[in-house]
Amino acid sequence: MLSHHYVEDNEAMFRFNYSASFLHWALKAPGWLKNWHVGVRVTSTKKLVAFISGIPVTLRVREHLLRCSEINFLCIHKKLRGKRLAPVLIKEVTRRCNLESVWNAIYTVGVVLPRPISTCRYFHRSLDWLKLYETGFSPLPAASTKAKQVTKYALPANTSTKGLREMEAKDVDAVHDLFTRYMERFEIVPKFTAEEVEHWLLNGGSKYDGRIVWTYVVEVGLSVAY
C-alpha cells in the first residue's frame, strides 16, 4: 500500500519503500495504541486501500506539557483520490484520540496548510552519488563531470572525530540527559523518556529483525557527548 501509493515525486518515479521492521518501529512507539492505526479495506478482497496512524507523544510548548498524538502515514489508493476519504480518516483518528482524552495532534505536510506552527528544511548528504545519478534521482551539474562528482562525495575510510562509536544500551541514560538539556533551548520540543530514547535512537532496543537506525556517541574519558 505505502510502496505504491504514499509520498512520491512529481514525476511518480520515486517513492518510499518502507520495510516491515521500519513500520513496526515507527508505529509501535512506547505507549502505542492499536486503536490509533486506522485502515480501510475492500470488503470482498480485504485489500487495504486507505490508512492513517497516530502514536502518543508528549510535547513541551514553552513551559506547558501536552499529551498529543503524532499523525503519520496518511495514504489513499490512487484510484480513490478525490473521493473525500482523507477527511473521513482524519475525523476518525481524531475521534479515537479524543476517546483517550488526547485533544492535540501534530503532523507534517509537504504543502502549506492554515496555521503552521513550524517549518523544516531538510539537508541531504549523498553517500553514493553515482547510484543516485544512474537511477535519475540526482542530476549532473552543468560545470562538472561524473568523476568529479564521485570524488566530491567520496568518504574517508576513518572518521576524524576521536571517541566516536555506536550507541549502546549502557548509553541510554547519558543520551537522555544530553537530549533533555539540549532541547531546553527550544520552545516546542518532544519530551522523551529514557524508554523513548532507547526506542527511537537504539533501534527499539534491537528487538526488530532489520536494522533501522544508527546512532553514534562520542565518548570522552568516562563521559558521553553528542
Position 118 in a domain: no
pLDDT at res. 223: 62
Farthest CA pair distance, the chain: 62
The residues, ordered by sequence, that sit 6+ positions from 36 with a Cβ below 8 Å of its Cβ are 53, 54, 55, 56, 69, 93, 96, 97
pLDDT at res. 217: 93
Give yes or no: residues 147 and 182 share one domain.
no
Give yes or no: residues 91 and 20 share one domain.
yes
Give yes or no: residues 151 and 168 share one domain.
no
Give yes or no: residues 26 and 84 share one domain.
yes
Give yes or no: residues 10 and 102 share one domain.
yes
pLDDT level of residue 112 (50, 70, 90 thresholds): confident
Give yes or no: residues 84 and 102 share one domain.
yes
Give yes or no: residues 149 and 178 share one domain.
no
Total domain count, the chain: 3
Task: Determine the structural domain holding residue 139 and report its residue range.
Answer: 126-155
pLDDT level of residue 207 (50, 70, 90 thresholds): low
- Whole-model pTM: value is 0.84
Can you tell me the distance from the alpha carbon of 200 to that of 137, in angstroms, rounded to the nearest whole number? 28
pLDDT at res. 205: 54
Neighbours of 192 (CB within 10 A): 20
